Amino acid sequence: MHSINLAAEKINPLLPHTAELIVGAIAFTLLYLVLRSKVVPMFEKAFTARTEAIQGGMERAEKAQLEAERALRQYTEQLSKARDEAHSLREDARAQGVAIVEELRTKAQEEAGRITAAAHASIEAERQAAIASLRTEVGTIAIELASKIVGESLDDQARASRVVDRFLDDLEVSK
């Protein structure tokens, strides 16, 4: 030990030591190989996985949000469409109701008109019939009465009806 120290008095600390140079190189290379093959790839893997996990999560959230927005838009659209539809249905129904009422009214009016017309016609016909029967009956009665009064037979048909007609015409004119 002592002798080493004495010999070492002249050792320059800046001079390399062969054994240490070799060992240093080997040790460093060894460490380099271990770290490069075992450690760096694993850390990189962890970093990549983490980045992906974070990015993936963010992307997933973004996608979900987009999806939700799309659904909301769709619902609002559908809702407004349904509202429009209901509105138009109501309008249709109202229009239809109005039309139906209108139609019924015209129909009823027509019916009423027809009934009135029919009544008029039947009244007219009966009146005509009454007039006709009256005319003959009044004629007969009048002739009978006249013949009784005059005493003259008015059996001659043609003359009789001419007399009645004249009589009736006079009646009408006097009316």
Partner 1 sequence: MRSLHLLSASGGGFVPPSSNDFIFPSFFGHSQYATKPIFLVFLSVLLISIFFVLASRKAAIVPSKLQFAGESLYGFVRNDLGRDIIGHEFMRFVPYLFTLFVFILTNNIFGIVPLLQFPTMSHVSFPYVLAIITFVVFHYIGIRKQGIRKYIKDIMFMPGVPKAAYILLTPIEIATYFITRPLTLALRLFANMFAGHLLLLVFILGGDHLLKGVIGLKLISPFAFAFGIGLTFFEFLVQCLQAYIFTLLTALYIAGALADEH
Structure tokens at 149: 């009064």
First to last CA, the chain: 180
At residue 159, the 3 state secondary structure works out as helix
| Binding string, residues 14-33; x marks residues near partner 1 by CB under 8 A | xxxxxxxx-xxx-xx-xxx-
Q: How far is the CB of 62 from partner 1 (least distance, A)?
A: 20
Q: How far is the CB of 39 from partner 1 (least distance, A)?
A: 4
Q: How far is the CB of 59 from partner 1 (least distance, A)?
A: 16
166 and 157 in contact (C-beta within 8 Å)?
no
Which residues in 43-82 contact partner 1 (CB under 8 A)?
43, 45-47, 49-50, 53
Q: How far is the CB of 65 from partner 1 (least distance, A)?
A: 23
- Alpha-carbon torsion 152, 153, 159, 164, what sign? positive
Question: For residue 163, how far is the Cα from the chain centroid?
Answer: 83
Q: How far is the CB of 48 from partner 1 (least distance, A)?
A: 9
38 binds partner 1 (CB under 8 A): yes
In this chain, which stretch among 8-16, 91-99, 110-118, 138-146 interacts with partner 1, using CB under 8 A? 8-16
**Residue 133 CB neighbours (<10 A):** 10
Size of the site for partner 1 (CB under 8 A): 38
139 and 161 in contact (C-beta within 8 Å)?
yes
| Closest to 80 measured CA to CA, from 88, 70, 69 | 88
In the complex, the residues that contact partner 1 under the rule CB under 8 A are 1-2, 4-5, 8-9, 11, 13-21, 23-25, 27-28, 30-32, 34-36, 38-40, 42-43, 45-47, 49-50, 53
